[in-house]
Amino acid sequence: MRNEFEHEQLPQEEFERITIDSDQAERIEKPSLSFWQDAWLRLRKNKAAVVSVVVLLLFLILALIGPHLNGHAGDAQNLRHANLPPKIPGIEKMGIFDGVGNLAGKKVDLYEMKKVDEYYWFGTDGLGRDLFTRLWLGTQVSLFIAFVAAAIDMVIGVAYGGISGYYGGRTDDIMQRIVEILIGIPTLVVVILMIMIMDPGIMAIIIAISITGWIGMSRIVRAQTLKYKSQEFVLASRTLGSKDGKIITKHLLPNMLGIIIINTMFTIPNAIFFEAFLSFIGIGLQAPDASLGTLINDGYKVMEHQPYMLLFPALVISILMIAFNLIGDGLRDALDPKMKD
């Protein structure tokens, strides 16, 4: 019987002898990418994060130039122009932002009634101050507080956590007990006490936010330091004779940078939120300074009659929070794709 699996004889001349080039054996085809290039490629693919970056940049620019756009000063009071609804040139003909507001239950063009020729894009408040200007002034202050607080958190947190983790032993014991005591006190109590001692203002809020805010960062950095300091590449560096400073700057920090950035990106929206919260309950920024929190506080009091006073700052703070969180998420996926930390 014929074997049905029998192969056809392959012709000898179809084969060609090749030799292995040992140089080629070790070659790597892929282009070389550094960690940061790789992370950038991944971040670019994340649409939500990219959109958030664009939105955030837009808000940053607006916060910087917004207060100078329409010629009204943020603290100029004009009682004749008080409580005007938004009116924007161009859009007014479409039936929105046309200066029509409620007066004793009837819809009236308040600009016409009060004989106001100017345009207040986002309306005015009870003292006749331009809300568009105040909104971006407020955003400026809120962002400033958030960035400074996050930067302070980062510096103190990284230094504290790094020292505690790197030197270990008794130093670590003492430093961690201090942190445990600090974290045992409710944040709000510390903050309120701080603000009562100091003059209310931007500095007071920044200090209040920073005073306990760095603890989270310090714990993360300590854990990372503990993880990396016993890694073999650090030991190798030590056997080569590296000093502590070099090990920290060349080996530990570059490896921790990703998680530090991610954590900072989540600290910023928290700081914005906390500042708004403090201003909202009345222990934050004091009049006539504006922040998103004070604007929301003002708007919420007249929510029923002049909803626009609440709407714009609320929108800005919401969009800011979402954008920062989405960027933070995107960065985490980009910098720590295996979710190891």
Partner 1 sequence: MAEHLIEVKNLKQYFNVGKSSEVRAIDDISFSIKRGETFGLVGESGCGKSTTGRTMIRLYDATAGQVLYDGLDVHAPKSQSENQTLNRKMQMIFQDPYASLNPRMKVLDIIAEGLDIHGLVKTKKERKERVIELLETVGLNREHAERYPHEFSGGQRQRIGIARALAVDPEFIIADEPISALDVSIQAQVVNLLKELQEEKGLTYLFIAHDLSMVKYISDRIGVMYFGKLVEMAPADELYRNPMHAYTKSLLSAIPLPDPIYERSRVRHPYNPKDHQYGPDEKVEFREIAPEHFVLCSEKEFKEMQAARM
Minimum CB separation from partner 1 for residue 170, in Å?
14
For partner 1, the closer CB: 168 or 216: 168
- Among residues 255, 272, 267, which one has the least CA distance to residue 327? 267
Check: CB of residue 71 under 8 Å from CB of residue 63: no
Out of 91, 96, 198, 236, the residue judged to bind partner 1 by CB under 8 A: 236
Minimum CB separation from partner 1 for residue 330, in Å?
21
Which stretch, 95-103, 125-133, 234-242, 292-300, contacts partner 1 (CB under 8 A)? 234-242
For helices 131-167 and 253-280, angle between their N-to-C axes, nearest 10 degrees: 140
Query: To 5 degrees, how large is the angle CA 126–CA 132–CA 137?
Result: 100
Core vs surface per residue 331-341: b (16+ CB within 10 A) or e? bbbbbeeeeee
Out of 41, 69, 198, 233, the residue judged to bind partner 1 by CB under 8 A: 233
Residue at 17: amino acid letter: R
Out of 47, 177, 250, 301, the residue judged to bind partner 1 by CB under 8 A: 250
Q: How far apart are CA 72 and CA 80, in angstroms?
A: 15
Minimum CB separation from partner 1 for residue 237, in Å?
6
Segment 21 to 40, residues that bind partner 1, using CB under 8 A: 23, 26-28, 30, 32-35
For partner 1, the closer CB: 30 or 106: 30
Minimum CB separation from partner 1 for residue 21, in Å?
12
Size of the site for partner 1 (CB under 8 A): 25
Q: What DSSP letter does each residue of 225-285 carry, written as one string? A: HHHHHTSHHHHHHHHTT--HHHIIIIIIHHHHHHHHHHHHHHHHHHHHHHHHHHHHTTSSS
For helices 292-301 and 131-167, angle between their N-to-C axes, nearest 10 degrees: 130
Minimum CB separation from partner 1 for residue 254, in Å?
4
Tokens at 250, concatenated: 């060349």
Minimum CB separation from partner 1 for residue 258, in Å?
9
- If you search the block for the tokens 């190891």, which residue do you land on? 340
Minimum CB separation from partner 1 for residue 245, in Å?
12
Out of 20, 240, 287, 339, the residue judged to bind partner 1 by CB under 8 A: 240
For partner 1, the closer CB: 9 or 230: 230
Segment 63 to 82, residues that bind partner 1, using CB under 8 A: none
The 8-class DSSP code of residue 322 comes to H
For partner 1, the closer CB: 234 or 271: 234
Q: How far apart are CA 233 and CA 239, in angstroms?
A: 10
Residue at 99: amino acid letter: G
Which stretch, 133-141, 165-173, 251-259, 316-324, contacts partner 1 (CB under 8 A)? 251-259
Minimum CB separation from partner 1 for residue 241, in Å?
4
Q: How far apart are CA 132 and CA 141, in angstroms?
A: 14
Q: Is 251 in the site for partner 1 (CB under 8 A)?
A: yes
3 state SS of 103:
strand
Out of 1, 89, 239, 339, the residue judged to bind partner 1 by CB under 8 A: 239
For partner 1, the closer CB: 207 or 257: 257
For partner 1, the closer CB: 112 or 244: 244
3 state SS of 139:
helix
Check: CB of residue 85 under 8 Å from CB of residue 119: no
3 state SS of 312:
helix
Which stretch, 68-76, 247-255, 261-269, 293-301, contacts partner 1 (CB under 8 A)? 247-255
For partner 1, the closer CB: 105 or 241: 241
Q: How far apart are CA 18 and CA 145, in angstroms?
A: 68
Residues contributing to the site for partner 1 (CB under 8 A): 23, 26-28, 30, 32-35, 231-233, 235-242, 246, 250-251, 254-255
